[in-house]
Amino acid sequence: MIYQQKQSNRLRNIMICLGVVLVTALIAVGSNLFPPSSNIRTIGVEIYTDANQTTRLTSINWGTLAPGENKTVLAYIKNVNNTIATLALNTSDWQPINASNFIALTWNYTDTPLPPNALQSTTFTLHVKPKIENIDAFTFIMTITATEA
């Protein structure tokens, strides 16, 4: 009888632990249904994570950001056109739609013409306004376009 009671208590404790783990996992998933990220589209350029051009950069996971915080990512942009080009950056398809009212993307590119096959190091900075409201996660598309200079 004592053996059965110990087994019952052990099973109950295991079930409680599993319940706590399950609730914790559901809270974590429910509070961040999609990671704060940007998909990257390119026109006339390729973007890399390194100067050796070994890893293409197709998205950026911005991670957890607090109100008023900035986050930077270093990237390397290569002009794959046959002509000298200047670059443009645009954002679109923000989710949720109002996220762009509280979050902005900038870069340090200065309109310097980029020769064919040249590589330009560039820093992208995501700025979160101090008074952001009702946004726990976001996504958007960033498009970098090369245009003949």
pLDDT on residue 18: 44
d(CA 83, CA 114): 9
Higher pLDDT, residue 10 or 110: 110
Tell me if 38 sits within 8 A of 59, measured CB to CB. yes
pLDDT digits (tens, 9 = 90+) for 94-125: 999 999 999 999 999 999 999 999 999 999 99
**pTM score of the predicted model:** 0.76
Stretch among 20-24, 41-45, 77-81, 138-142 having the lowest mean pLDDT? 20-24
The overall average pLDDT reported for the chain is: 85
Sheet with strand 85-95: strands edge to edge = 59-61, 37-43, 139-148, 85-95
d(CA 104, CA 51): 26
Identify the residue whose tokens are 């050796």.
Answer: 52
Question: At a CB cut-off of 8 Å and minimum separation 6, what does 2 contact?
Answer: none
